[in-house]
Chains A and B, each alone.
Chain A
């Protein structure tokens, strides 16, 4: 015999759903963190203070992680299938930029940090060509 509990149990879950999408996306967010990484590596190289150098490594790793975070949000939330049709290379570009951010996190290579900036700039171009500044920034993007 079915227990009362079984009978009362709902058969499925329905969503009174809310994404709270703020709708603000800009590769600039990732770029600023990546610029921080570059400057920190330069400061690391210029310093003789072991404590300061240790702090540089610590903060640079945090910033590199933020680059990845901002890139991933942009990738998964801003870019839509229709963008992919026009720019079939988006996935590859983001994947490589993410990997580059990992490289910057792991190393103290100025070249790697500069390369990351270039990659973010190429993402920025795609974002601009899809109308990103007008669509996602409040009153367009401040120049």
Chain B
């Protein structure tokens, strides 16, 4: 009887502890496509953000909204968050860097829909070099590779 009570309390304690560090969220919008699609359900953990992680952050322009974006840059002024789907994303290009303290949750995996169950990989934000303003950093990579230097 006593052991049962202790086990029960331990389970409740573990649940409360887990809830502080684990959570589930649903995606709305397409700015993280194709990695994440609307209605995807994700498991998130409370963790320090790293470059390339998909993270949750309070929208600096509207604290009621929580954004999901990828960490594309880490600088002195904070984290630069960008959507993978650049042409349909409102992100650091619109609101600048966010303080690292504003990013508390990291996405670890998708549990729904079941056919796309699996981890969400940490990877560079852009498949192609993105350089806003000034000369393109790497406009013709093949020319550099084929160059006579």
21 pairs from A and B in contact (CB 8 Å cutoff): A8-B41, A11-B23, A11-B24, A12-B66, A13-B25, A14-B26, A14-B66, A15-B28, A15-B66, A15-B67, A16-B27, A16-B31, A16-B83, A16-B85, A16-B89, A17-B28, A17-B29, A17-B67, A18-B31, A19-B94, A21-B94
Give the residues in chain A near B69, CB-CB below 8 Å. Answer: 16
Interface string of B102-113 (1 = CB under 8 A from A): 000000000110
Is the Cβ of A14 less than 8 Å from the Cβ of B67? yes
Segment 1-29 of A: residues with Cβ below 8 Å from B: 8-21
Question: B11 at interface (Cβ–Cβ under 8 A)?
Answer: no
Instruction: Please give me the 6 A-B residue pairs with the lowest Cβ-Cβ distance, nearest first.
Output: A16-B29, A10-B26, A16-B32, A16-B31, A14-B68, A19-B90
Q: How far is the CA of A10 from the CA of B41 in the complex (A)?
A: 7
Chain B 62-102 interface residues, beta-carbon cutoff 8 Å to A: 65-69, 83, 85, 88-90, 94
Q: Chain B: residues with CB nearer than 8 A to chain A?
A: 23-33, 36, 38, 41-42, 56, 59, 65-69, 83, 85, 88-90, 94, 111-112
* A10 surroundings in chain B (CB, below 8 A): 24-26, 41-42
Q: Which residues of chain A are near B88, meaning CB under 8 Å? A: 18, 20
Which of A10, A13, A14, A20 has the most CB atoms of chain B within a 10 A radius of its CB? A14
Q: Is the CB of A21 within 8 A of B56?
A: no
Are A12 and B25 touching (Cβ within 8 A)? Answer: yes
Using known A-B contacts A8-B111, A12-B66, determine if residue A18 contacts B30 with beta carbons closer than 8 Å. Answer: yes
A16–B57 alpha-carbon span in the complex (Å): 11
Known A20-B88, A21-B94; judge A15-B26 contact (CB<8 A).
Answer: no
Is A15 within 8 A of B59, CB to CB? yes
Query: B30: which A residues are within 8 A, CB to CB?
Result: 16, 18
Q: Provide the residues of chain B in CB contact with A11, threshold 8 Å.
A: 23-25
Q: Is the CB of B90 within 8 A of A14?
A: no
Give A10-50 as 1s and 0s: 1 = Cβ < 8 Å from B's Cβ atoms: 11111111111100000000000000000000000000000
Distance in angstroms between the alpha carbons of A15 and B90 in the assembled complex: 10
In Å, the complex CA distance between A27 and B106 comes to 43
What 13 new A-B contacts, CB under 8 Å, besides A15-B65, A20-B90?
A: A8-B112, A10-B24, A11-B23, A14-B67, A15-B29, A15-B66, A15-B67, A16-B27, A17-B59, A17-B67, A18-B31, A18-B88, A18-B89
Residues from chain B with a CB closer than 8 A to the CB of A21 are 90, 94
| B29: A residues at CB distance < 8 A | 15-18
Q: Nearest CB to that of B112 among chain A residues?
A: A8
